[in-house]
Structure 1
Amino acid sequence: MRVGQPQQPSFFVLDTGSDVTWLQCLPCAGKNGCYEQITPIFDPELSSSYNPVSCDSEQCQLLDEAGCNVNSCIYKVEYGDGSFTIGELATETLTFVHSNSIPNISIGCGHDNEGLFVGADGLIGLGGGAISISSQLKASSFSYCLVDIDSPSFSTLDFNTDPPSDSLISPLVKNDRFPSFRYVKVIGMSVGGKPLPISSSRFEIDESGLGGIIVDSGTTITQLPSDVYEVLREAFLGLTTNLPPAPEISPFDTCYDLSSQSNVEVPTIAFILPGENSLQLPAKNCLFQVDSAGTFCLAFVSATFPLSIIGNFQQQGIRVSYDLTNSLVGFSTNKC
Structure 2
Amino acid sequence: MPISLNMNNNKPIFSAFLFTAILNSLLFSSSLARVFTETTTVFDVSASSNRAQNALSITPPQFHSHHLSNSSLSLSLHSRLAIHKHNYKDYESLVRARLARDAARVQSLNRNLNLALAGDAVRPNSLTAPVVSGQSQGSGEYFARIAVGQPAQSFYLVPDTGSDITWLQCLPCSIGNTCYPQTDPIFNPTSSSSYRPLSCDSQQCQSLNRPGCQSGTCVYQVWYGDGSFTTGDFATETLTFGNSKSIPNLPIGCGHDNKGLFVGAAGLIGLGGGALSLSSQLKASSFSYCLVDRDSDSSSTLEFDSARPSDSITTPLLKNNRIDSYRYVQVTGMSVGGKALSISSTRFEIDGSGMGGIIVDSGTFITRLPTDVYESLREAFVQGARSLTAAGAISPFDTCYNLAGQSNVQVPTVAFELSKGNLLQLPARNYLIRMDTAGTYCLAFLKLTTSSLSIIGSFQQQGMRVSYDLVNSLVGFSSNKC
Normalised by the shorter chain, which TM-score bucket?
A: over 0.9
Task: Find out whether 1:19 has 2:169 as its counterpart.
Answer: no
1:172-211 superposed matches below 5 A: 172-211=317-356
Match of 2:271 in 1: 126
Write the distance in 2 (CA, Å) between the matches of 1:294 and 1:33: 41
- From 209, 212, 218, the equivalent of 2:357 is 212
Contact kept, 8 Å, 2:180 with 2:263, in 1: the verdict is no
Write the distance in 2 (CA, Å) between the matches of 1:12 and 1:66: 23
TM-score norm. by structure 1 comes to 0.93
Where 2:420 maps in the other structure, the secondary structure is: helix
- From 294, 301, 320, the equivalent of 2:446 is 301
Write the distance in 2 (CA, Å) between the matches of 1:31 and 1:313: 38
- From 372, 376, 389, the equivalent of 1:244 is 389
**Superposed CA RMSD:** 2.0
Match of 2:421 in 1: 276
- From 221, 239, 242, the equivalent of 2:366 is 221
Identity of aligned residues (%): 68
Which residue identity does 2:248 align to in structure 1?
A: P
1:52-106 deviation line (CA, Å, top 9, x unaligned): 2222221111112332332332222233444432222111110001321111111
Which residue identity does 1:88 align to in structure 2?
A: D
Task: Find out whether 1:86 has 2:207 as its counterpart.
Answer: no
Shift, 1:247, TM fit: 3.7
Where 2:411 maps in the other structure, the secondary structure is: coil
Contact kept, 8 Å, 2:158 with 2:267, in 1: the verdict is yes
Shift, 1:222, TM fit: 1.0
TM-score norm. by structure 2 comes to 0.66
1:6-48 deviation line (CA, Å, top 9, x unaligned): 1111122211111111112223346874332222222222222
Change (3 A) 1:321 1:262: same
Change (3 A) 1:234 1:79: farther
Change (3 A) 1:210 1:5: same
Match of 1:231 in 2: 376
Shift, 1:51, TM fit: 1.8
Match of 2:476 in 1: 330
Larger Rg: 2
Shift, 1:250, TM fit: 3.3
Write the distance in 2 (CA, Å) between the matches of 1:114 and 1:148: 28
Shift, 1:5, TM fit: 1.1
Where 1:259 maps in the other structure, the secondary structure is: coil
1:156-181 deviation line (CA, Å, top 9, x unaligned): 11111210000011111122111111
Match of 1:315 in 2: 461
Write the distance in 1 (CA, Å) between the matches of 2:357 and 2:282: 27
Task: Find out whether 1:5 has 2:150 as its counterpart.
Answer: yes
Where do 5+ consecutive residues of structure 1 fail to align?
none
Q: What is the total number of aligned residue pairs between the two structures?
A: 336
1:244-292 deviation line (CA, Å, top 9, x unaligned): 3334333323233333333333322111111221101111111223333
Where 2:325 maps in the other structure, the secondary structure is: coil
Task: Find out whether 1:258 has 2:403 as its counterpart.
Answer: yes
Where 2:236 maps in the other structure, the secondary structure is: strand
Shift, 1:116, TM fit: 3.9
Which residue identity does 1:270 align to in structure 2?
A: A
Where 1:234 maps in the other structure, the secondary structure is: helix
1:43-192 superposed matches below 5 A: 43-117=188-262, 119-192=264-337
Shift, 1:227, TM fit: 1.5
Where do 5+ consecutive residues of structure 2 fail to align?
1-145
Shift, 1:110, TM fit: 2.1
Which residue identity does 2:477 align to in structure 1?
A: F
Write the distance in 2 (CA, Å) between the matches of 1:203 and 1:145: 24
